[in-house]
Structure 1
Amino acid sequence: MKEAHEKETDPPLVLVVDDDTDHLILVQRWLIKAGYLVDGASHGRQALARIERQRPDLVITDLAMDEMDGLQLIEQIQLRDPLLPVIMVSGEADIPQALQAAHQGVVDFLVKPVERGTLLEKVAETLARLGTAAAASEGPIAGCYVHRSTTSAELLQRARQAATGDAPILIDGPTGAGKQLLARCIHEASERREGPFVSIACGALPEQLLASELFGHVPGAFTGATERHQGLFQTASGGTLLLKDVDELTLDAQARLLQAIDQMQVQPLGASEPVPTDVRVIATTHVDLAAAVDAGHFREDLYYRLRVVPLHLPPLVERREDIPALVEHFLQQLGSDKRFSPAGLQLLVSADWPGNVRQLRNVVEHCQLMSPGEIIPENLVAEALEGLGSAPPTLDEARAAFERRYLAGLLRATNGNVTNAARLAGRNRTEFYKLLHRHELDPKQFRGGD
């Protein structure tokens, strides 16, 4: 019976780093006999190169090595992949160094000579505790998020770890990259999976209506509020609340959101008493929120409150290895038996994809619909890519573009008079000025003859 659990998937990969060749070979043999995949490096720089080539599930490194010692290696690993677990081995029970290693994120510290049983036990415990392939399959996140690239695998490992807690998550990435899907996968992998998954587009509603949707209201809170309305913080109780395009929130709404997250309670509009909540908040954005903070458009305290667990979803061109798997997935979703020719698939892999995964799906759907045969040819793919050279706007983007054109039209019609423009829009001056600020429209630019 093997000491490592047998899996249908590949066993976990362990990288052993030691400049003592005899000890390096010995540890590798132990791990191989226990059923693990094993890679080896005789010094720190070689280990970093091995990690770049293929990410291991665990690193076991010696402390005392020439050129780059174990602590320096761990520092470099942390910069590249802070979730990669490391076990350190030292020839001496150096307490200060052990404490420093623990501070740098080392999961265990063993003293040479290490017993075979002790080492294998620590390896199994570490992999099991961190939820890697040694103890469990990749689980629901990998199952719902199609990928093949190392970049996506590393992202999903972080997401899988984040799913074990309740801390707020901030997912950033370009439009169409799959931020909402990743959020749902995290929800499905968490202990809140039996609870509701509720989402709202922060830029889709006027400020007062958005506040009502998020926090609720009582009768008489504002004109037209005749019944009690339960906000999404209450609707999502026991589950996850997804705030799409959180950068679209006004500063006032940001303040209310920060209070709700910090205190885990909301005060419905018009209510005198707060209501407790129990939600996990995930926010998404396609803009540089740090730059928005610097510009004064986004609260710094809310930025750091949401960014407890930051996840960056890169554009599709930075993870091209995912494209063939995504294409196959989309064809299955469409119920199609058609397949792309090798040349056609290569065109898909090499395309620029400004609209990311959403655009790829559109092209796959177009090609499978228009192809007369079971094999989708290269020329049809080329035509689809030419016709979809730029990604169609999302509903939020289209709405924002319309709103900007509408506001600019009002300012032109009123010669830049904000009072008259606000009256035509049915808004008060304060709200109208906020809309102008959101769209970076200056009334002075619409005043002629001054």
Structure 2
Amino acid sequence: MSTPRVLVVDDEVDIRKLIEITLARMGVETDAAENVECARERLADEQFDLCLTDMRMPDGTGTDLVRHIQTHHPTLPVAVITAYGNTDDAVECMKLGAFDFVSKPVDIHMLRKLVESALSLESPASPRTPQPAQTALVGETAGIRQLRKTIEKLGRSQAPVYITGESGTGKELVAREIHSQGTRRHGPFVPVNCGAIPSELMESELFGHLRGSFTGATQDKEGLFQAADGGTLFLDEVADLPLHMQVKLLRAIQERSIRPVGAKAETPVDVRIVSATHHDLAERVREGVFRQDLFYRLNVIQVTVPPLRERMADIPRLANSLLAGIAERYGLSQPPTLTPDAVERLQGHSFPGNVRELDNVLERAVALTDNDRITADDLQVDPAPPASMNAGDDADGLRNELEDLERQRILEALQATRFNKTKAAERLGMSFRQLRYRTKKLGID
């Protein structure tokens, strides 16, 4: 293999020399440019595997160079060097397509990790273990094809990703796909449900603690940030973070370091943050319950997972994939199949619980059926409602219809659990807080 080459763009000679010496010790060849114009000329005349650029230069900015590279050299990874404590410009560059950033004074350890990750993009992809069918993003509708294409592009970036979508659409699956297709795929993927951790334990869970730092802390404990070092930390239901933890999370993301409870010094961490929620986080910001600066840091790249009702054509393929997974869990020699009337029944159901509800419906049908073919009656779901809405009332009518279906599902779960809201929430696949919010909104006493 040829020696990798990196273009270093910085008007400060000392910074350039530090980076060049560091990369030379890694066996990387470097070339230098002292301004944006010089960098453009080098890029036009020579081939590079990575560009490292400062943000402030005499004739322009790193943002200008990122835009130029995205237009004229779109396969070239570019990372930016930003002043300490000023990451706004770096975040903007990552929105434009920059691979990552490093802050001044340059931490040699972090710089080496960044360069290794960026250069691995140009290396032949290492063999991957085939994913089981039930864990792949299954479907061929336009929304799913676009989602897969977006995830593939995200593999060339270290930018934080914010995943939106209704409950049950598969946001964690998308997060895992982002991780597995990126340069961090050999590192850990650590998921955490922010709504499931008690507020008083959240700091210790995320950042860890030292022995004796509080009552009951009998030994040092590693936090989830440290567990995800070198990989991806997935913050599910990030909207449930209390305000005091939002401040600490923001600092951890900006400084790329954490302070365990009871520690005097901060510990550097190298994690990619992927967050998700089924709430409208922008609305939470407007309501004053979620920090705007944290939202800005999390929402560098936004990915939306379509609801199942918008991809009904995927149901046959998706159902077969889910049935294969259910058969494996039940120890069946082969998965059951759906009769044509069962497929028609599924495609006529609105699925307010999305893919999670479809999986539950199929698992119940497998448990109850006496043979290897599932019929419409085995599914126990509502058939398609009659088409009775006028064109002008589509939006309001659909919203009301979905709320009625959701109200019916919640009431069924409450009745089945003798109105035990904790068990009902588990049955519906949501948190107790979410169920309380939905019952209040839907007027369920």
Normalised TM-score (structure 2): 0.57
Correspondence 1:320-335 to 2 at 5 A: 320-335=312-327
How far does residue 316 in structure 1 lie from its aligned partner after superposition? 0.7
| Distance of aligned partners of 1:247 and 1:401 in 2 relative to their CA distance in 1, 3 Å threshold | closer
Residue number in structure 2 paired with 1:284:
276
Residue number in structure 2 paired with 1:183:
175
**Greater CA radius of gyration, 1 or 2?**
1
Distance across 2 between alignment mates of 1:401 and 1:174 = 12
Counterpart residue type for residue 263 of structure 1? E
Distance across 2 between alignment mates of 1:179 and 1:372 = 33
Q: Do the aligned residues in 2 keep the contact of 1:366 with 1:384 (CA within 8 Å)?
A: no
Q: Do the aligned residues in 1 keep the contact of 2:275 with 2:298 (CA within 8 Å)?
A: yes
Q: Do the aligned residues in 2 keep the contact of 1:140 with 1:185 (CA within 8 Å)?
A: no
Work out whether 1:390 is the aligned partner of 2:382.
Answer: no
Residue number in structure 2 paired with 1:257:
249
How far does residue 344 in structure 1 lie from its aligned partner after superposition? 1.1
Work out whether 1:294 is the aligned partner of 2:286.
Answer: yes
**CA offset digits 1:128-164 (Å, max 9, x no partner):** xxx9xxx9xx997998211221111101111111122
Residue number in structure 1 paired with 2:370:
372
Distance across 1 between alignment mates of 2:436 and 2:141 = 39
Q: Quick one: percent identity of the two aligned structures?
A: 37
Q: Structure 2 regions of 5+ residues with no counterpart? A: 1-63, 75-120, 328-333, 384-404, 414-423
Residue number in structure 2 paired with 1:145:
137
Distance across 1 between alignment mates of 2:73 and 2:252 = 38
How far does residue 263 in structure 1 lie from its aligned partner after superposition? 0.8
Counterpart residue type for residue 244 of structure 1? D
**CA offset digits 1:352-375 (Å, max 9, x no partner):** 001100000111112223222333
Correspondence 1:87-236 to 2 at 5 A: 144-236=136-228
Q: Do the aligned residues in 1 keep the contact of 2:366 with 2:374 (CA within 8 Å)?
A: yes
How far does residue 230 in structure 1 lie from its aligned partner after superposition? 1.0
Candidates 331, 341, 346, aligned match of 2:339? 341
Q: Do the aligned residues in 2 keep the contact of 1:217 with 1:228 (CA within 8 Å)?
A: yes
What SS is found at the alignment partner of 1:311?
A: strand
Aligned length: 282
Residue number in structure 1 paired with 2:100:
none
What SS is found at the alignment partner of 1:284?
A: strand
Distance across 2 between alignment mates of 1:321 and 1:355 = 17
Distance across 2 between alignment mates of 1:234 and 1:398 = 26
**CA offset digits 1:238-294 (Å, max 9, x no partner):** 111111100111111011111111111001111110000011111111100001001
| Distance of aligned partners of 1:398 and 1:170 in 2 relative to their CA distance in 1, 3 Å threshold | closer
| Distance of aligned partners of 1:304 and 1:181 in 2 relative to their CA distance in 1, 3 Å threshold | same
Distance across 1 between alignment mates of 2:279 and 2:434 = 16
| Distance of aligned partners of 1:366 and 1:385 in 2 relative to their CA distance in 1, 3 Å threshold | farther
Distance across 1 between alignment mates of 2:425 and 2:270 = 31
**CA offset digits 1:34-67 (Å, max 9, x no partner):** xxxxxxxxxxxxxxxxxxxxxxxxxxxxxxxxxx
Normalised TM-score (structure 1): 0.57
**CA offset digits 1:197-231 (Å, max 9, x no partner):** 11111111222311101011112322222221111
How far does residue 325 in structure 1 lie from its aligned partner after superposition? 1.2
What SS is found at the alignment partner of 1:271?
A: coil
How far does residue 300 in structure 1 lie from its aligned partner after superposition? 0.5
Distance across 1 between alignment mates of 2:130 and 2:291 = 34
